[in-house]
Amino acid sequence: MEFNFDIVKNPRIFQENRLPAHSDHEWYLNRENENSVRSDCKYSLNGSFRFHYAENFQSVIRGFEKKDFDVDGWDIITVPGHIQMQGYGVPQYVNIEYPWDGSEEIEPGEIPTKHNPVGQYVKKFTLPDFMKNGPVYISFQGVESGFALWMNGAYVGYSEDSFTPAEFDLTPYIDKDGENRLAIDVFRYTAGSWCEDQDFFRFSGIFREVYLYTVPAVHVWDLKVNANLDDNYKDGVFSLKMDTHGANGSAKLTLYDKNRKHLIFEKTLELSDSENTYRIGGVDQWSAEFPNLYDLEITVFDKLGNISEYIKEKVGFRRFEMKNGVMCINGKRIVFNGVDRHEFSAQKGRAIGNDEIRFDLMTMKQNNINAIRASHYPNQTYFYRLADELGLYIIDETNLETHGVWDHIVKDGLDKSFAVPGDRPEYLDMVLDRANSMYQRDKNHASVLIWSCGNESFGGINVQKIHDFFKNVDNTRLVHYEGVVNDDRYPDSTDMKSGMYWSVKTIEHYLKEHPEKPFISCEYSHAMGNSCGGIREYTDLAKRNRLYQGGFIWDYIDQAIETKDRYGNTYYGYGGDFDDRPNDGSFSGDGICYASDRRPTSKMQEVKAVYSPVDITIDEERVIIRNNNLFKNLSDYICTITSSCEDRILDIRKTAVEADPGKSAVFPLDVKYKKDRECVITVSLSLKNDEKWAERGHEIAFGQKIVGERQQADHSKGEIRVAHGWLNTGVFGSDFSILFSNLYGGLVSYKKAGVELIKKSPRPNFWRPLSENDIGNHMAFRADQWKAASTYLSINDGRRVSNYDVKEDEKTVTVTFTYYLPTTPEIEVRQTYRVFPDGAVKTSVIMNKSDNIGELPSYGVLFTMNADFENLRWYGNGPEDTYADRESGGRLGVWENKVKDNMAEYLRPQESGNHTRVRWAEVTDNQGRGLRFEGDDLNISALPWSPDQIDCADHPNELPPIQSTFIRVDKFQEGIGGDDTWGARPLPQYIIDNSKPLEFSFWFKGI
């Protein structure tokens, strides 16, 4: 048999000679190695391969697969790894559009021919001794997007489907004593690429591990474990089916509880037996809260009674089902507090390692995330094993997305027959094969609760048949598919209804009209840039409507690639930064974690709060803690009650709490605080014991209540002197001086102890830097006049000069400026400064109704200081930034950081660093000199760049050198939004109402 390139573009042929898919269990010849991650029957081929890059199939080097072909002069490439991440071609980020769109005119059933790179790999190796007496197989865990394989010059086979294993039998071709030569052609685009139009960077290459393996004479090729619960959710119902290769034999089964403390059962059976079922009394159930796993050990014997192999598999007993119209885990209604997650690394693309997977899943558990949608393809096996261990609910998704096809059906009115896979018979076997490969590998993982037929691929009979396949082979899980919202001809393609970026009102209305199936948001709260505003609206809906069962934030980590600009500065590139055309720009940056090092962004603070498993309410006399866990008692937590006055802790107590799931613990508020001062009562729940994902004391949730009243500062002590000049007015106190300019229209100097604190005149400000959500909902089109008003306001509009007014009384002097704004219609704003004897200045900004000018992004004052004033300390919400619609995770307290640290590391510079509910804030140099701001529920932002400078930069490395510190003191700032990033505005309650006059006052003072 010879390789024929025509199969690469034929959707009916997606594999040749590939071995059947099977479970991902490990087997061992030596029992001493059974606790190893890697079987002692495997031999890694990871590492260096010889490599040649061809622009297309016509450019490949013919005959390279022959054993005597000299490749010693070829380049060297690393496996696992993407071709484009190692200097060959470029990565390309596109979302909906196919990567070849506009370059070649092709339709489904065709592939690009001009630009369709082929990576030619060669690996030489000698067979390890332990493999020489048995068969030899090769496993490719992930190759994008298709490949042909030769061994010692002989054609072995072909495979597509980038994200599930492809395995072949090398035994007929292997030289067991000499040098062997593996040759592979990897094609960037195949017929299967039409089914891989996911929202991600497009790569190619051998990006997951490659290894050889052998098996003993009697071998369990496939293992199917079913660990269910009985109808009373007490006893385990355990069944086992083994597909064996080789001579007949027997198997001894032993099942131990965790840590091998107790033997649960022991059975011996013949390998020829069909599926065996056992009842086990009183099992410890598996859930995200208690991920109890049992150790299943299988000792396989040949027919003479000799040990052939050992198998060890983790088993979790759980029952997932539709019950009384809702999804339930172990009999309890489940709520998915989830995220969508791509496999991605800024340094390696999708070729990520176990350390990165563990870091992600540990971070999720620490932030109350309980579920992951594997978007939009099967992940590496280690991901599922770790999810079993740590306790995360998984939607496992078939490698299928055809967004670029069905989008034209919806928008351009193309006939539904155009859909892929749709009703096309030529795609049916391909998509069923992808579903089967995922199922067979992942079927034994307790964490996998739902099979997904794919993502954003319209509808049709083929998707229905994927659903039917899952239901026929697995009665322990449900099946999900969102695409029926666009093509409802086959509504039974999904067991639950789901939507993407539906508003809360839309979901509520839908469930009222269609209560037949529960609903999940398989994608919601689009986390692009500074986002995730209003997310609590969704989690609150899950608490009041039983049919809404949570959702999955899009998505977990920014997709960006570490690169350098022309000056050698490192930055993280998105679509277009690699001369990739077409591309979808920064749309790849929609994660709640940074691309650079996987750290959580400030959005995670909100996610942790709204995903909390408890609700904490504090009133004047008592604390109420509602336990929203399904299985965990509150006694598993430490409860700490703290009272504080600004940065001083007044009292701290710990108390035991207890409440079953769904119940509340109520106890007196017996902590001490001062009633004549504003104090904060904080109730915190933290882990009582170490968990695999966090140590004892890790905080799970907190609640706060403000008690007492704030004392107003007395600024009347001392004397002031006023100097009236022709164009300036000076105000002097014992250690300060302030200068107001009539000529330039503002406060032009504030000195404290001889140190100048003001670099530019404070001015009324109505603009914030555009966020990705602002850009997506075209806020600038509605509000552009406010940017001009903030930048070009003046005391002199060419016709009128400001009413510069100075008034004195016994203790204070008040200076008023009138600014004219370059808006249509014209509008005026008055700013007043009232100076007190101690140097405190009360400033007010007064503006008439302005809704006829446009949406008002913010309302406050912009201060400019020298960059030496680089420290921010504030009493308000923290520690991360907060906004009107994203402050559930903000904790009222005293916080401090560097001004530069308030600039979030988003891929595109944008609005960030705001802090809500601020009582006071200090911006100081390293000697403690600076300005203090005071007020009621202020919004404070201190950044090293102005709104204009931030708006002008497409990447952080494009921001200018730091010269100043810019402080925005706002009464209002519009919510950050985030229902989506292509039109959704912040919710109405978080938009500034400028249909009425606005007035804002606060204090500032030199320190």
Catalytic residues, by residue number, are 456, 523
Spell out where 162-218 has E strands.
166-169, 179-187, 200-202, 205-206, 210-213
From CA 211, how far away is CA 38, in angstroms rounded? 11
In single-letter form, the type of residue at position 729 comes to T
Cβ neighbours of residue 94 closer than 8 Å, sequence gap 6 or more = 101, 202, 575, 582, 583, 584
In single-letter form, the type of residue at position 735 comes to D
Strand partners of residue 630: none
Phi, psi of 468 (to 5 degrees): -65, -35
Strand partners of residue 211: 44, 139
Pair of tokens at residue 919:
């009582």
Residue tagged 């355990």 (tokens): 238
Cβ neighbours of residue 800 closer than 8 Å, sequence gap 6 or more = 820
979 contacts 541 by C-beta, under 8 angstroms: no
- Segment 237-241 long-range contacts (CB within 8 Å, at least 24 positions apart): 237/277, 237/278, 237/279, 237/280, 238/277, 238/278, 238/279, 238/280, 238/315, 238/317, 239/275, 239/276, 239/277, 239/278, 240/275, 240/276, 241/274, 241/275, 241/276
| Nearest residue to 423 (alpha-carbon basis) of 458, 455, 467 | 458
From CA 417, how far away is CA 422, in angstroms rounded? 7
The conformational region for residue 972 under phi > 0 = left, psi -120 to 50 = alpha, else beta, is beta
Pair of tokens at residue 765:
């400000």
From CA 156, how far away is CA 147, in angstroms rounded? 11
* CA angle in degrees (0–180, nearest 5) for 858-859-865: 95
Residues 862-872, buried b or exposed e (16+ Cβ, 10 A)?
Answer: bbbbbbebbbb
| Nearest residue to 315 (alpha-carbon basis) of 339, 280, 289 | 280
From CA 638, how far away is CA 786, in angstroms rounded? 49
Cβ neighbours of residue 373 closer than 8 Å, sequence gap 6 or more = 338, 339, 340, 341, 394, 395, 397, 452, 522, 523, 552
Residue tagged 């080097």 (tokens): 61
From CA 417, how far away is CA 251, in angstroms rounded? 51
85 contacts 91 by C-beta, under 8 angstroms: yes
Spell out where 399-488 has E strands.
448-452, 478-480
From CA 166, how far away is CA 434, in angstroms rounded? 11
Helix runs in 308-447, H state only? 354-366, 381-390, 403-412, 428-442
Q: What are the C-alpha distances in Å from 190 to residues 150, 160, 981?
A: 18, 8, 32
930 contacts 924 by C-beta, under 8 angstroms: yes
Pair of tokens at residue 824:
């249509």
Phi, psi of 892 (to 5 degrees): -70, 125
Phi, psi of 480 (to 5 degrees): -120, 145
Total H helices, total E strands in the chain: 11, 60
